[in-house]
Structure formats: C-alpha cells, structure tokens
Structure 1
Amino acid sequence: MSDVVLAALLAGLVAGLGGLLVPALIARVPEPEPKPGPEDPAQAEPPKTAYADIAARPGLGWRSAAVSAAAGALLGAACGLDWPLLWLVPLTPVAVALSVVDWHTRLLPRVVVVPATLAAVGVVTTVGLATDQREALVRALVAMVAVRSFFWVLWFVRSAGMGFGDVRLAAPVGLVLGWVGWGAVAIGVWTSFVAFVVPALALALWRRDRLMLKQSFPFGPFMVIGALVGLVWGTALAGRIWG
C-alpha cells in the first residue's frame, strides 16, 4: 500500500470519526446575546435557529461524518503522510460544524473559531520550528494575516454584506493555505468567491428575481470549500494559470 493511499485512508477515517461529534460540538455552543431589533417590525429578521435545534436535526451526525471523511481523504491523498495532516485532519470536522451553523444562522461562533485558530497556530508553529521548515511557517503566518486583513477590508467597506465571523474564519483559512504556498492561497480565496457568486447568480437568473442578489447569504461554507480546493488542487491550478 502506497503512502498516499494510506494517508488518505487514515485521514478519512479520523476526520470521519470527528465528524460524528459535530452535533455535540454545535449543541455546546452558547447562544449569542439577543440584538435589539429595528424600530420597524417589517424590517425585523426571522428569529435565529437555536444551536440545540440544529444539533438535533435527524441524520446530522452521519452526514457530517461522511463529508468530513471525504474531505479528510482528499487532504490525505494531497498531503501524503506529512506534517500538515496534524492540523488539517482535526480542523476538518470543525470546519464542517462551522459550515452547518453558518448555513442555518448566518453566524460563525467566536467560541469555536478563535480556539480552533489558536490551536492551529500552535501546532503549525511547533511543527515549523521542530522540523526546520521556517520558510513554510513564516509564509503560513504572513498568509494568515494577509487573508484576514483582506476580509477585514471587505467587512469594513460593506459590513452589511459580510459578517465579522467571516473575518475571523479567514485567519485559519489563510494559515493552512499559506503553509502549502501562495498559489494555494490565491486559488483558495478566489474559489470561495466563485463558489459563492456563481450559484447565487444562476438562481437569480432562473427565478428572474434581481432582489435575490441583495439578500444576505452565509459565506462561511464557501470559504471552507475554497480552502479545500486550494489545499488539494491549488498549487497545480496556480502553476497552470500563472506558470
């Protein structure tokens, strides 16, 4: 059995087992403080779905496990038996949980994103220093700051179209992509926007409703998709596009 196949099997298995814990993780997220509603009741948003209700959805555990296992296998096949699996595999079910929460609530809980980011930074830094891969470590940290800053600018310019949770999530996305290379960073960020915009445009055209383009949609799941594409195919795609 080759190292690539073994890495794919191991990463898929461990990530899939972690995916079974997604409902438990979501159920433990504390509910945010309620925000004051607008003066006009007609402009009030529908009530947020409780995290406990999301966690109790039938089949969420096995679906999260299947998605986590598939993503983990792809990452294992792309990385082989290499150090990045130490942070990519644990982050996979966390990313699935955040995607589920954001899809149903348009929120990315700080109590999940920040600890996951700090843990990833700690592991990446330890591996980078212990294995003398300082160039990859510096690139990962710089990419984390650069991608987060980029999303912060987007949020600052138009906060109505992007939540600050997306800015927080941009940090671990930039970190893991940066370790792989700048091509992975570019492809990962670009793919997240393409994956977000194209379906929305297609749906608006199909329904012939321009107002859909002004609606707020969760961006977190598409950031996760972009990160996966960047990690698995980013370097190869960047090489073909930019040489």
Structure 2
Amino acid sequence: MLICGAVLWGAAVGAYAVPRAVHRLAVGVGEPWREPAVPAGREAVWGGVGTAGVCGVLAAASGAVPEVGVWLLATPVAVVLVTVDVRVRRLPDVLTLPLAGALAALLGGAALLGGAGSWTRALLGGLALGGAYFLLWLIHPAGMGLGDVKLASSLGMALGWYGWGVLFAGAFAAFVLGALYGVGLMAVRRGSRRTALPFGPFMALGALAGLVTGAVSAS
C-alpha cells in the first residue's frame, strides 16, 4: 500500500505540478519568471513517470518509517530543480533555499516520531557537504555555481540522516556519474574537457543512490 500510494502521489504531482513549475522557472539569469501554463502532454507524461518512479523506489527502500514522508515531499522539488538545471543550467534560489529549510524542519519532526536516522547528523551533514561545495566553488567558480552549493546543503542533510558513510558515498557517486557522462560525451565527440555540464542531475542521482542504500541498511 505504501509503495502504491507513493507511486500515485508521484504520478499526480509529477504530471501536473512539476511541468508547470519547470515551465515557469526555466529561464535565464535576470529574466522574469514565466506565467504558469498547462503542461503539454509529453511533458506531463515524463514528469509523472519520472517522479512516480523515484517516489516508488524511495518508498520501497525506506518502508513505513517517518522519514519516507520527507523523501516523498522533497522528490518533486528535486525533479523540478534537475529539469531546470538541464534546460538552462540554473538551480533557482526560490526552490533551493526553501528546500533546505523544509528538510531541516521535516527531518526534525521525523526524528521526534522515531525515524531511523539522526537529525543532528543530518544538520551537520548539510553543513559539511554545503561547505565542501562552497570550497570547490571558491577554487574553481567557472566549474560550479552557487546553486550547486545550496543544493548540496539539502542533499547533505538527506544523506547525513543515515550516516557519514552514506553521505560520502552519495557525494562521491555524483562526481563519478558526472565524470562518466563527460567521458561518454567525449567518446562520441559531442563534448570536450572544457564542455560545461549541469551538475545538479548528477548530485541528485548520487543522493538517490545514497538514500536508497542508507534506507535499505537502516530497515
């Protein structure tokens, strides 16, 4: 029942709310947000399928624990951020900042309800991963945006909930996936070592892998 409910939730919000948010926010820096629009059929289908798939996987891995509600609420926001980053290489503050605050509050509630992780470690994980990305941005600003830094804080909280090993694995997976994708582009001659890539999708995929691993281990 939990998995079915998670899939239905993901399909509904992914088919309607996600494409509308992507349409509104996928604009260049300095450009005004677009007016909301009814999503096209193909966008609604892909949004629904993608969000439902992620929600179903997280529900199956987590089981009936308090934090599963946090993951299901955060997933549509993450899908919007990833899609916008792919389209315009931007992670809007209007989503990254509220996401960090919401995760901190919701994971605190999950801890009070007897969740399988640690709220204190989640907060420290957010500071650690956000701080690490901030240092990378200071060292090489052209290779990473501040949006990545802000998203890292949220992902660090989610991964840190399950443990430092999960945090490291999820963060490391993002860089591995990004490197493999870059090598693949060069192999088919569609990019070079200097090709700029949106890093948000790889961060999210790495975090998803870490969350699934952590949830399965904790269950």
Does the TM-score normalized on the shorter chain lie above 0.5? yes
Alignment of 1:99-118 (within 5 A): 99-118=82-101
Amino acid at match of 1:155: W
Q: Which residue of 2 aligns with 1:16?
A: 11
Distance apart, 1:31 and its partner CA: 5.1
Letter in 2 for 1:131: L
Answer with 170-179 or 118-127: which moved more: 118-127
Q: 1:58 to 1:200 in 2, by over 3 A?
A: farther
Equivalent in the alignment of 2:210: 230
Q: 2:198 aligns with which of 214, 218, 225?
A: 218
TM-score (norm 1): 0.80
Corresponding residue for residue 167 of structure 1? 149
Structure of larger gyration radius: 1
Q: Structure 2 counterpart of 1:224, which letter?
A: A
The residue type equivalent to 1:14 in the other structure is W
Count of residue correspondences: 216
Gap change, CA 1:53 and 1:193, over 3 Å in 2: farther
Q: Mind listing any 5+ residue stretches in structure 1 that lack a counterpart?
A: 1-5, 35-47, 238-243
Q: State the TM-score, normalizing by the size of structure 2.
A: 0.88
Which stretch shows the higher mean deviation, 73-82 or 52-61? 52-61
Letter in 2 for 1:138: T
| Aligned-residue RMSD, C-alpha | 2.7
Q: What CA deviation, in whole Å up to 9, does each residue of 1:188-239 have, x standing for no partner?
A: 11111111111211221332x7x611021100011110111001125779xx
Q: In the superposition, relative to structure 1, how do residues 52 and 63 fare at CA in structure 2: closer, same or farther (>3 Å)?
A: farther
Q: Classify 1:144/1:120 alpha carbon distance in 2 versus 1 (closer, same or farther; 3 Å).
A: same
Summarize the alignment of residues 78-227 of structure 1 with structure 2, pairs less than 5 Å apart: 78-128=61-111, 130-131=112-113, 136-207=118-189, 212-227=192-207
CA deviations over 1:97-147 (Å, ceiling 9, x no partner): 11110001000000011112211211111222x236697011101001000
Identity among equivalent pairs (%): 30
Amino acid at match of 1:23: P
What amino acid maps onto 1:165 in structure 2?
G
CA distance in 2, matches of 1:180, 1:188: 11
Distance 1:150 1:58, change over 3 A: same
Per the alignment, do residues 225 and 33 of structure 1 end up closer, same or farther by CA in structure 2, a change over 3 Å counting? closer
* Gaps in structure 2 of 5+ consecutive residues: none
Q: Which residue of 2 aligns with 1:42?
A: none
Q: CA deviation at 1:27?
A: 3.5
Per-residue deviation, residues 59-112 of structure 1 (Å, max 9, x unmatched):
112101101111111101110011111210011111111111000100000001
Which residue in the other structure is 2:56 paired with?
73
Letter in structure 1 aligned against 2:137 = W
